[in-house]
Structure formats: C-alpha cells, structure tokens
Amino acid sequence: MSGRMMVVRRSRRSADEAKAEILKAAERRLKDGGPEAVRVQLVARDVGLTDAAVHHHFGSREGLMAALLRHCARDLRATLQSDIAGWRGGVPDLARLADLFADFYERRGYARLALWLSLTGVRDKGGGILNDLVDALHAIRVARFQQAGLRAPERADTQYLTALIHTTALGDALLGDAMTRSAGLSPGTAARVGFRRFAIQVFERLLDAPR
Amino acid sequence: MSGRMMVVRRSRRSADEAKAEILKAAERRLKDGGPEAVRVQLVARDVGLTDAAVHHHFGSREGLMAALLRHCARDLRATLQSDIAGWRGGVPDLARLADLFADFYERRGYARLALWLSLTGVRDKGGGILNDLVDALHAIRVARFQQAGLRAPERADTQYLTALIHTTALGDALLGDAMTRSAGLSPGTAARVGFRRFAIQVFERLLDAPR
C-alpha cells in the first residue's frame, strides 16, 4: 500500500472508528489463534494502519489486550442484560447462560485472554461485571424463599452462587475435557454435555428454597 | 565445571535418580516462576547436568513438562488416597480436599502447567486420576440415599459431581480473584475464603440424599 493511500484511508477514520476497527481485528485473531496471535504488528496490518497508530491508540500490546478484555466485558454485560430481561415469570434460563459463557470464554477465547493478562501482571481493578445477574438471581431467590415461608438469603450468598457459576464456566472453557476425564468419564462431547447439564441442575437447585 | 567433574558427578547417578532430580528441580521452578520458568537449560544447571542429558531423559521441553504433570498426578492421587482413608465414619473432609487442590493447583502451579500443556497441543490421554475420590464419594452417597429409602444415584452422577468439584478448584486456582470480583465481592482474602466455604457447603449438600 502506498503512503498516499494510507493517508487517505486514515483521514477517513475518527479515533473512535480506528479503535473500534483495531479491537474487531484483535478479537478475530484471539478467536482464531488465542492470545499469542494478538500482535500489534499483525492487527495493524489487518486494518491498514501502522504499528505506531495502534500503539498511539492503546499504548502497548498489554494495553490492547486489556482494552480487548474490557470490550468483551461490556459485550458480555449487554448480552446478559438482554437475556435476563427475557426471563419470563421469574424462571432463569441457566442453560442459555451456560451457552453464553461457553461462547465468550471458549469459542471466542476470552478465558485464555483473561488468564494471559493475569499472568502478564496486568491488574484489572474492575469488578461487578455480573452485578445484573446477581440482582436477577437474588430477586428470584428472595421470592422463592419467602413463598416457602423462609427468611430471605443474604445477598452475599447469591454473589457466591454467581461466582460459582462463573468459576465453573471458566474452568470448563479452559480444561473441560481434562476435568471430565479426571473423574473417569470417556473423552468427548457426551461427557462435556453431560457435565454442563449436571452443573445447570445443581445451580437450579441452589436457586430454590431448601426443602 | 570441568568435563572431568561432570563425568564423576554423572556416573554416581542412575538414570532413575537423575530423572527424579530433574523433576524436583523443574517442580521448584514451576512453583517459583510458572511454566515459562521451566526451561531445559536452567533445570540442567540446577542439577549439574548438561542440556543434552536432560533431553536424553525427557526428549524435549514438552516431554519434561508432560512428565512433570504426570509426576504431579501421581503425587495428587497418592495424597488423595491417604486423605480418603482418614474419612472416619463416612464423613468426607471436603474442606481438606479444597486445601489439597489449592496447594497443588495454585501454590505449586499445576493448574498453569496443565493449561500450558493443553495450549502447546500436548495431548494427555490419561484419565481417571480422581477415580479413588469418585469411589469414596459414591459409596458415601449410596449409603445415604439408601438410608433415606431412596434409589441409589448413578455412578455417572457422582463422576459429574467430582468433575464439578475439580472444575471449581481449577477455576478458583487460575482466576479466583477475578471470579469473586465479577460478582461484586470486594477483592481480597475474605471473598476467596468465603467463596471456598460456600462451594464446600454446596458440595456437601450434593452428597446428601435430597429431602
């Protein structure tokens, strides 16, 4: 590509547009090749920018990776919000929730990205990306406990339950096959599907008031 | 070190002794610096051998890493067996089990090693390292269900439960702080401890017959 073409292409983009395109390219590379495949040089080439331009927008490779994880967190949060809004009659769709986590963490590679950032020492101070899920699950639990004539559970209890659902999804995305094999289950899809179904039943039981 | 000294030192070791020393040095490096710190050259230096000698015993860095994971699996299995033997009166000590997993996976770095191997494409065909745990938990469940006049659960159900305990321990070891923060819990030890206590209570409840 000639220098003139670069100038023309770049001048058409605002800073926000450029950042969005860079993140989109980085997301594709993450999905196809994992964190190691997300390199400033390659991403810059994907979107027709110079390395320097990518560095200008994100500071460093670590900065790009952290921005990518924040981008994912926003996306996950928005998807969750719309999913939760669809829980008719206070019945949460935990199977759909498990699919959502599997899509983000396993298929799109975000579990490995989160781990990569953690190992690189990039500290993410953010928290509460599942706050909407906690709120929705807690409202359901409070209603069910009250209906059973029981004292409502503490919010912290539902926060721990949400963290358990999240931890299970993460571990399953990273090493699910090894986990089912460790318990003597045959390798393959059947064990993975069976495991997810089992976990969902466990979480559904935990939403109910104890009998 | 002179060539003569190398020969003298090496001649004193049998092949098995040398492999055990290499694994011990690799284990130390894994604990202190994670998978990236386990390098053939460094491990060879630690035990006073040449790189070629380490390659001779383990084939490659990947071979050394895979041997290290098998070494850990044997150790975990033996520790589990002795722990399970101490469960008096059919009462499993799930808190001690959680500590055991945290020790192996988080403190000693085996969760990151397992993931490293998986990402490197080294396929571990082994399975069933938690078979003894499955057997012990299943015997307890069968007894409790029968006492409650209920049909005994399928063994597969206990295998899934064991896989859930394992997946939780793995996810917690890798990104426990991020998991509790995602549910809006304050960062730090209190949330981690609270989360582990919650998970143990859930698993204990799952061992019992439904009421």
Q: What is the 3-state secondary structure (H, E, C) of chain B?
A: CCHHHHHHHHHCCCHHHHHHHHHHHHHHHHHHHCHHHCCHHHHHHHHCCCHHHHHHHHCCHHHHHHHHHHHHHHHHHHHHHHHHHCCHHHCCCHHHHHHHHHHHHHHCCHHHHHHHHHHHCCCCCCCCCCHHHHHHHHHHHHHHHHHCCCCCCCHHHHHHHHHHHHHHHHHHHHHHHHHHHHCCCCCCHHHHHHHHHHHHHHHHHHHCCCC
> How sure is the predictor about B3, in pLDDT bands with cuts at 50, 70 and 90?
very low
More confident residue, B90 or A183: A183
Q: What CATH number does residue B15 fall under?
A: 1.10.10
pLDDT at site B61: 95
H-helix or E-strand containing A184?
none
Q: Check whether residue B102 and residue B121 sit in a common domain.
A: yes
The three-state secondary structure class of A29 is helix
Contact state of A170 with B168 under an 8 Å Cβ cutoff? no
Q: Check whether residue A2 and residue A98 sit in a common domain.
A: no
Q: Check whether residue A185 and residue A88 sit in a common domain.
A: yes
> How sure is the predictor about A11, in pLDDT bands with cuts at 50, 70 and 90?
low
State the average pLDDT over residues A182-205.
96
A162 neighbors A94 (Cβ within 8 angstroms): no
Q: What is the DSSP string of A47-87?
A: HT--HHHHHHHHSSHHHHHHHHHHHHHHHHHHHHHHHHHT-
User: For an interface test with A, which of B69, B134, B158, B167 has the most A Cβ atoms less than 10 Å from its Cβ?
Assistant: B167
Asked if the C-beta of B162 comes within 8 angstroms of chain A's C-beta atoms, the answer is: yes
Q: Which of A59, A82, A108 is the last residue of a domain?
A: A59
State the average pLDDT over residues B109-116.
94
Contact state of B182 with A162 under an 8 Å Cβ cutoff? yes
Q: Check whether residue B80 and residue B169 sit in a common domain.
A: yes
Q: Check whether residue A31 and residue A121 sit in a common domain.
A: no
State the average pLDDT over residues A112-117.
93
The answer to whether position B176 is within a domain reads: yes
Chain A residues lying within 8 Å of B114, measured CB to CB: 175, 178
Q: Quote the minimal CA–CA distance from A37 to chain B in Å.
A: 12
The three-state secondary structure class of A123 is coil
Q: Check whether residue B94 and residue B177 sit in a common domain.
A: yes
Question: Could you say which of A134, A166, A176 has the minimum Cβ distance to residue B179?
Answer: A166
Radius of gyration of chain A (CA): 21
pLDDT at site B121: 81
Contact state of A198 with B164 under an 8 Å Cβ cutoff? yes
Closest Cα to residue B205, out of A201, A119, A21? A201
The answer to whether position B174 is within a domain reads: yes
Q: Which residue of B has its CA nearest to A77?
A: B182
Contact state of B159 with A184 under an 8 Å Cβ cutoff? yes
Chain A residues lying within 8 Å of B160, measured CB to CB: 183, 185, 194-195, 198-199
Q: Which of A12, A30, A59 is the last residue of a domain?
A: A59
pLDDT in tens, B128-169: 999 999 999 999 999 999 999 999 999 999 999 999 999 999
Sign of the Cα torsion A12, A17, A18, A24 reads: negative
Q: Check whether residue A71 and residue A51 sit in a common domain.
A: no
Chain B residues lying within 8 Å of A72, measured CB to CB: none
User: Is the confidence at residue A7, as pLDDT, over 70?
Assistant: no
User: Is the confidence at residue A203, as pLDDT, over 90?
Assistant: yes
Contact state of B182 with A115 under an 8 Å Cβ cutoff? no
Q: Check whether residue B99 and residue B193 sit in a common domain.
A: yes
Q: Check whether residue A108 and residue A153 sit in a common domain.
A: yes
Chain A (92-111) residues lying within 8 Å, Cβ to Cβ, of chain B: none
Domain that holds residue A47: 1-59
Chain B residues lying within 8 Å of A164, measured CB to CB: 168, 195, 198-199, 202
Q: Angle at which helices A40-47 and A61-85 pack, to 10 degrees? A: 70
The tokens describing A105, both together, are 């963490």
* Number of compact structural domains in chain B: 2
d(CA A138, CA A133): 8
Chain A (4-43) residues lying within 8 Å, Cβ to Cβ, of chain B: 34
The answer to whether position B64 is within a domain reads: no
To the nearest 10°, report the CA torsion of A136, A164, A103, B186.
70
The tokens describing B140, both together, are 């307890």
Contact state of B157 with A183 under an 8 Å Cβ cutoff? no
> How sure is the predictor about B210, in pLDDT bands with cuts at 50, 70 and 90?
confident
Sign of the Cα torsion B138, A196, A102, A33 reads: positive
Residue B203 identity (one-letter amino acid)? F
What number of C-beta contacts closer than 8 Å exist between A and B?
158
d(CA A173, CA A105): 6
Q: Quote the minimal CA–CA distance from B147 to chain A in Å.
A: 18
Asked if the C-beta of B183 comes within 8 angstroms of chain A's C-beta atoms, the answer is: yes
pLDDT at site A3: 47
Range of weakest confidence among A50-64, B111-125, B156-170? B111-125
State the average pLDDT over residues A133-154.
96
More confident residue, B29 or A211: B29
State the average pLDDT over residues A65-74.
94
Chain A residues lying within 8 Å of B171, measured CB to CB: 166-171, 174
Q: Which of B28, B59, B90 is the last residue of a domain?
A: B59
CA distances A157 to A44, A136, A161, B157, B196, Å, are: 45, 13, 6, 25, 12
B198: left (phi over 0), alpha (psi -120 to 50) or beta: alpha
Contact state of B163 with A157 under an 8 Å Cβ cutoff? no
Mean pLDDT across chain A: 92
More confident residue, A10 or B15: B15
Chain A residues lying within 8 Å of B156, measured CB to CB: 185, 194
Q: Check whether residue B116 and residue B146 sit in a common domain.
A: yes
Closest Cα to residue B15, out of B75, B56, B72? B56
Q: Quote the minimal CA–CA distance from A4 to chain B in Å.
A: 41
User: Is the confidence at residue A14, as pLDDT, over 70?
Assistant: yes
Q: Check whether residue B44 and residue B85 sit in a common domain.
A: no
pLDDT in tens, B32-48: 999 999 999 999 999 99
Q: Check whether residue A173 and residue A190 sit in a common domain.
A: yes
